[in-house]
Amino acid sequence: GGGEPRPEGCRARVAAGGAPCAVRVWYLGTHEALFREVDTMWNLLSDEFRFTIVRLNEQGIYQPAQMQTESVRNEGQGSQSPVWDPAKRLGFRVVSEAIMDVQPAALKLRLMLRHEIAADAGLLLCTIPAFACSAFVDVPLPIVMYAANPATAQVPYSQFHAWLTLFADLAEDPKNHLVVSNTWSQAQFEYQAGISLPMIRVHGLYTNAKHSVDASGHHSTEVLVYDRTSPLLACVLQALLESMDPDRSGVPSRFVHHGSTDREFKTFASFAAVVFVPGDVEQMAFYEFYSTGLPVFMPGDPGRYMWPRLPGMAMSKDHACGKYTPWAGTWELRYADGLGEELSIDCSGRAKLAGGGGNGMLRPLERMDERGFSHCIALGWRGRRRLGRRLRLWASQMQAARLESDDPCEGSFAKAFGGGAHEPGAAASSGSGARRAAEAAPAEPSLWDHDIFASVAWFLEGRLGGPSRSEHSPFNIGSIAAVREWAAVMDYFRYPAVGLFLSGAELVVALAAEGGSRLRAANREMHSFSERELRHSLRQWRSVLGEVIP
């Protein structure tokens, strides 16, 4: 009330029984599933809106549904032995801010807007990464963001504060509507930017798949195992199944890893249930499975969510050499001060600098430190004499940091650096298995999402000043207390009828419970929840579009 009356637009025409509003949308983002979610939901409002979408980028598009697994024949045994390589087999890659270069998209948009919009209205849509929305700054059209993942994903570390400040300004502009897709992202954006954004659930209707049981109660007895890290769990569950009484009623007939299927959602929906092993604290595949009504079972051990895990870290038996498998190899350390040297680590954890620079033993820290380092090594010590290097290391990308402290295995990262005011000699390594180049500036991490649990990656920690409602950072889920606090906003534990299990035996018993009636009850409860939430989400989207389209 009190302001100037809003000029009549196409929605008044629609209300009078006229044609729907013709809306031109300029879209920028890299996550196809999120884009398809928006496109599908908006098209359900065709009584009021008709959309023409112009994509501003073809660069960096991320389609997890197209991840491929490959089986490599073991010639010695004549069997199929899966070999998992995160870069080649699953489509995961370490990416930098270059994966979403907003400058060409921003220029392309501004050139397009020199011409008159051939529609009733125009709006700007951005998804993952949220940083893509920065391309729309100062464009006189409303911005609709639909995002997940941290606000700082794919943003250079040195620009965190500047970007978060800009993001807060975008959120406060009344012409814009910044929305997140799940409760985790809602809490994490609040932690980072101090703003509580509205949340509209993911429904995954674009899968065009539904799980159902026929009138006679017949359904498949095979259970899908969706695990992007490796087929190991599926093999373990199958081995457990084969050790049981074959005449026991209700138990699954087989566990099938998703890599052994055609990866079509209609195929997934035909299974009796899915064992979903999450690769992040919020993951589109979970919502896609849930929307089909396929009963979902998930690990309930809090420790499973405490440590980020790398797709591809599980290796075939022929390649493994013990607990130091991820470390074994020769690494070329390149420090920011120009020093370079080779570090060799064998399968027993023994480490050696080339040229007689020192020997040592790789040791795990008691807990991951605040920079994500998990192991330490003191090289070349003789008594109290320092002959070599003191390092902390991180296996996932084999990063190393050269320390100033007497003992690299004691205390926090800042303490190990002798106070941490100036972090000297940060290093990256290359060689057998290395994936990153040396940093020009030692204190800046330069790894981005998709290599570990993207939403909790330590190097994305960044927030504006001010109080926080959480005791623990969502980027340091390194304790049971932190998991318990943040589990309250993980949809895995909020959605009804999701089964949790602590062991393979408990899972098999749950799947066989009451002759399959438990699965049928779960299916009904999931469908009921999805239908109710779908109606609510459509009302939310209609409200958002009603605000940005006159």
Mean pLDDT to the nearest integer, 286-291: 96
Please report the pLDDT score of residue 375 as a whole number. Answer: 76
Position 471 in a domain: no
Q: Return the structure tokens found at 398.
A: 């084999």
Q: Does one domain contain both 40 and 139?
A: yes
91: which residues sit within 8 A by CB, 6+ positions away? 63, 64, 66, 67, 68
**Residue with the larger pLDDT of the pair 99 and 455:** 455
Position 547 in a domain: no
Position 18 in a domain: yes
**Residue with the larger pLDDT of the pair 418 and 102:** 102
Comparing 75-84, 113-122, 358-367, the range with the smallest average pLDDT is: 75-84
Cβ-based burial of 305 (10 A; exposed 0-12, middle 13-18, buried ≥19): buried
- Could you tell me what percent of the chain has a pLDDT over 90? 37
Q: Does one domain contain both 298 and 357?
A: no
User: Does the pLDDT value for residue 430 go beyond 90?
Assistant: no
User: Does the pLDDT value for residue 403 go beyond 90?
Assistant: no
Q: Does one domain contain both 235 and 140?
A: no
Q: Does one domain contain both 267 and 296?
A: yes
Mean pLDDT to the nearest integer, 456-463: 83
Cβ-based burial of 189 (10 A; exposed 0-12, middle 13-18, buried ≥19): buried
Using CA atoms, how far apart are residues 155 and 163, in angstroms rounded to an integer? 8
Looking up residue 19, the CATH number of its domain turns out to be 3.40.50
Using CA atoms, how far apart are residues 277 and 301, in angstroms rounded to an integer? 12
Question: Pick from 406, 423, 452: which residue ends a domain?
Answer: 406
Using CA atoms, how far apart are residues 427 and 430, in angstroms rounded to an integer? 10
pTM of the predicted model as reported, rounded to 2 decimal places = 0.68
Mean pLDDT to the nearest integer, 403-415: 66
Are 170 and 182 a contacting pair, CB within 8 Å? no
Q: Does one domain contain both 188 and 216?
A: no
- CA-nearest of 131, 2, 115, 123 to 60 is 131
- Could you tell me what percent of the chain has a pLDDT over 70? 68
Position 481 in a domain: no
Name the packing angle between helices 517-548 and 32-43 (round to 10°): 80
Position 55 in a domain: yes
Position 542 in a domain: no
179: which residues sit within 8 A by CB, 6+ positions away? 144, 145, 146, 147, 197, 198, 199, 200, 544
> What value does the mean pLDDT of the chain take?
76
Q: Does one domain contain both 268 and 141?
A: no
Comparing 2-6, 209-213, 254-258, 520-524, the range with the smallest average pLDDT is: 2-6
Mind listing the pLDDT tens digit for each residue in 62-106?
554 443 333 322 333 333 333 333 333 333 333 333 356 777 888
Mind listing the pLDDT tens digit for each residue in 316-342?
334 456 667 667 777 777 666 667 778
Mean pLDDT to the nearest integer, 359-373: 68
Q: Does one domain contain both 301 and 367?
A: no
Number of domains in the chain: 3
Using CA atoms, how far apart are residues 518 and 434, in angstroms rounded to an integer? 47
Respond yes or no on whether the N-terminal peptide bond of residue 129 is cis (omega within 30° of 0): yes
Question: Pick from 167, 200, 233: which residue ends a domain?
Answer: 200
Q: Does one domain contain both 59 and 43?
A: yes
Q: Return the structure tokens found at 484.
A: 């318990």
Mind listing the pLDDT tens digit for each residue in 19-59?
999 999 999 998 889 999 999 999 999 999 999 999 988 75
Please report the pLDDT score of residue 96 as a whole number. Answer: 33
295: which residues sit within 8 A by CB, 6+ positions away? 211, 272, 273, 274, 497, 499, 519, 522, 523, 526
Mean pLDDT to the nearest integer, 158-166: 84
Q: Does one domain contain both 127 and 227?
A: no
Q: Does one domain contain both 60 and 134?
A: yes
Q: Does one domain contain both 174 and 48?
A: yes
Q: Reduced to 3 states, what is the DSSP secondary structure of residue 537?
A: helix
- In 7-29, which positions are buried (b, 16+ CB within 10 angstroms) versus exposed (e)? eeebbeebeeeeebbbbbbbbbb
543 CB neighbour count, 10 Å cutoff:
12
Mean pLDDT to the nearest integer, 486-502: 94
**Residue 222, domain extent:** 208-307+497-535
User: Does the pLDDT value for residue 153 go beyond 60?
Assistant: yes
